[in-house]
Amino acid sequence: MSALRQALADYLSVRRILGYRLVRAEKLLAQFLTFVEERGEEHLTIEAAIAWATAPANADPSWQSRRLSDVRRFAMHLRGIDSATETPPANILPGGRSHRATPYLYSAKEISTLMATTTILRGSHRQATYRTLIGLLASTGMRIGEAISLDQQDFDPIDGLLTIRHGKFGKSRELPLHPSVVAALGAHLNRADRPRNAARAPAIFLSPRGTRLLYVNVQKTFQQLVRRVGIIPRSAKCRPRLHDLRHGFAVNTILDAYRDGNDPGARLAILSTYLGHINPAHTYWYLSASPELLKLAGDRLERRLGGEA
């Protein structure tokens, strides 16, 4: 194994200990090292990094930036071992500037319609699976990867809890559930049309073959439902995504605090933990896309300032 390959193995090992999965990064960095080796180079250079990241030339700029970002993190690690390593500057590519999508905040009616439209899917079990999955995502704000990783042992119907054991950065947490969600999950697990081999499959959400749902298939099916319902993008950056159910849960949680006259700050701290964020700043960003929420916050600030005057 070459020195660079060994360094990559060490880098991945260290970051995984910290809770990062790095599935995509491992694949891309291995491809990058092959590119470096084919150039006959023994050290990482900015030139090589940019040449690899921007190939092919017609690729989406945001994808090129993500490729370079993975190389940059590895180079920062490698520089502590090899002083000849060159680290690509941040935002050197156009796509490196902020390209976060604007969340599409679904209305309650849109969510209900999406759940009802699962009847277009083939098979009663598949229909029930996606109906329950969409309802769970909307009512808990969990990540789709967390939902499809759930096993039956993670669901406690007595205490009304879900345990997330495979959260982002390897974090685990418990989610208290509304009684209606407990009832829906219990009913889903007790359906007579669950696949025949379901008894041997630990997952809560199963494909018709009795296997755990795949992320890519869930995304495709959700977009199929979105198109059938007729939900259209609000702009080029605001397109209906499955992940936006998580944004909607966050926004509605804080909206309820404002409407009920409670302390949004205290609710925000609880929300951050419930969502599995390691930094409250990430939760703040989830809330920044709601005009209604920003207006309520502004109105409360005006009242407070008026009272002080």
Catalytic residue chosen out of the listed positions 72, 246, 247, 267: 246
Q: Is 286 a catalytic residue?
A: yes
Contact 37, 186 (CB under 8 A): no
In the residue annotation, 178 being an active-site residue is answered as no
Burial of 130 (0-12, 13-18, 19+ CB in 10 A): buried
Active site residue 200: no
Distance CA 35, CA 229 (A): 45
| Residue among 237, 90, 231, 256 nearest 178 (CA) | 256
Residue 188 falls in the annotated catalytic set = no
Q: Which of the residues 165, 168, 173, 212 is marked catalytic?
A: 168
The question of whether 168 is a catalytic residue gets the answer yes
Q: Which residue out of 143, 188, 247, 267 is catalytically annotated?
A: 143
The answer to whether residue 243 is catalytic is: yes
3-state SS track over the chain: CCHHHHHHHHHHHHHHHCCCCCHHHHHHHHHHHHHHHHCCCCCCCHHHHHHHHCCCCCCCHHHHHHHHHHHHHHHHHHHCCCCCCCCCCCCCCHHHCCCCCCCCCCCHHHHHHHHHHHHHCCCHHHHHHHHHHHHHHHHHCCCHHHHHCCEHHHEECCCCEEEECCCHHHCCEEEECCHHHHHHHHHHHCCCCCCHHHHHCCECCECCCCCECCHHHHHHHHHHHHHHHCCCCCCCCCCCCCCHHHHHHHHHHHHHHHHCCCCHHHHHHHHHHHHCCCCHHHHHHHHCCCHHHHHHHHHHHHHHHHHHC
Q: Which amino acid does the sequence have at 243?
A: H
Which residues are designated catalytic? 143, 168, 243, 246, 277, 286
